[in-house]
Amino acid sequence: MKSKPPIIILLSVLLILILTSATPKLSYFETGGKKFLLRSSILANESFGTNSKFEIDLLQAKDAGVTVTGTYIYLSLASNSQTELGNGKYIFNEDVIHSKKPFVFSGVLSIDNKPVKIRGGSFAIVKKRKILKMDFLFKLENGESVKGYYEGTYQQTDRRKNN
């Protein structure tokens, strides 16, 4: 009986590894029984005076343009720094700026340009190099829940007045 050439065995093992390797998670959110893909994000530093203020926009659109419209999640948050968004868990707080507390947020979910305020929830964020990872669970003003995940690069912008 002839043995199989080593190249065939090697190719077979390589094919099995490729087919069984983990595929990256899709960035999405779901609410009301519908799932929406998230394709891009914007991270803006809007800190002022002694206040830490950042904005994160998670967008369905591929190109994160200047004007955010359509289907998106807008988050206004306070971090533990005025220069860098801190990694960690953020908890909903209606009055982000005046609370002077780090790791709080407020926001809006918009589907087809129909915004609904976020009224509760939390998210965990890890920002490493140019990759943003977020797991989130929100409660909306209309009683719906939103859960989702985002992982991807982000467009960073500095909107501070004294930079």
Say what the pLDDT of residue 157 is: 87
Q: Which residues contact 29 (CB under 8 A, 6 or more apart)?
A: 35, 36, 38, 58, 73, 109, 136, 146, 147, 148, 149
Query: What's the rounded Cα separation, in Å, for the pair 9 and 4?
Result: 7
pLDDT over 70, % of the chain: 79
Contact status, residue 162 vs residue 140, Cβ threshold 8 Å: no
* pLDDT tens per residue across span 60-95: 987 655 556 789 999 999 999 988 999 999 999 988
CA–CA separation, 4 vs 6, rounded Å?
Answer: 6
Is there a domain that residue 71 lies in?
Answer: yes
pLDDT digits (tens, 9 = 90+) for 141-159: 999 999 999 999 898 888 8
Q: In 3D, which of 68, 25, 62 has the Cα closest to residue 44?
A: 68
User: pLDDT digit string (tens) for 16-62?
Assistant: 555 444 445 789 999 999 999 999 999 999 888 888 889 999 999 87
Q: Is residue 56 part of a domain?
A: yes
Q: Which domain holds residue 35?
A: 25-158
Total domain count for the chain?
1
Whether 46 is covered by a domain: the verdict is: yes
